[in-house]
Amino acid sequence: MKELNALLKKARIVTRASYGLLVVSLIGGGLISGTPFILLVFAVVPLLIFIPGLRREKHRSISLLCFVTLLYFTAIVANLFEPDHSFFDITAVIAVVTLFVASMMYSRWLQREQAKPVIDYSNEC
């Protein structure tokens, strides 16, 4: 039980850090490359939708975040094959891979922790 709580704490920290790094690298890369503001908004808003689920620690929201990161992974890797890729693209691919693995494990461990049976001693005679 203590091990699960320690794993959850580490996964929470890594998930949130890589999530923030991904958002910052997407915004930074977009600003450096001169991406129009409206396209930058469309690139970042799908990630921002998951903030309430991350704050409330809902395993379904975190699981959905895993699937959304796969879409970002394909787009970021495609950008890496362009001749004018930047440092932000490299940072983004590291962040998205870390986010996928950490959020997948975080979701699984959170689901296991929330599924623990609750023992109610108030009805015992």
Which one-letter DSSP state was computed for residue 120? -
Q: What is the pTM of this model?
A: 0.86
Rounded Cα distance between 45 and 35, Å, is: 15
pLDDT digits (tens, 9 = 90+) for 42-69: 999 999 999 999 999 888 999 999 999 9
Rounded Cα distance between 109 and 120, Å, is: 23
Residue 80 lies in a domain: yes
Q: What is the mean pLDDT of residues 34-47?
A: 92
Residue 60 lies in a domain: yes
Domains in the chain, number: 1
Residue 88 lies in a domain: yes
Residue 123 lies in a domain: no
Residue 122 lies in a domain: no
Range of the domain at 44: 2-114
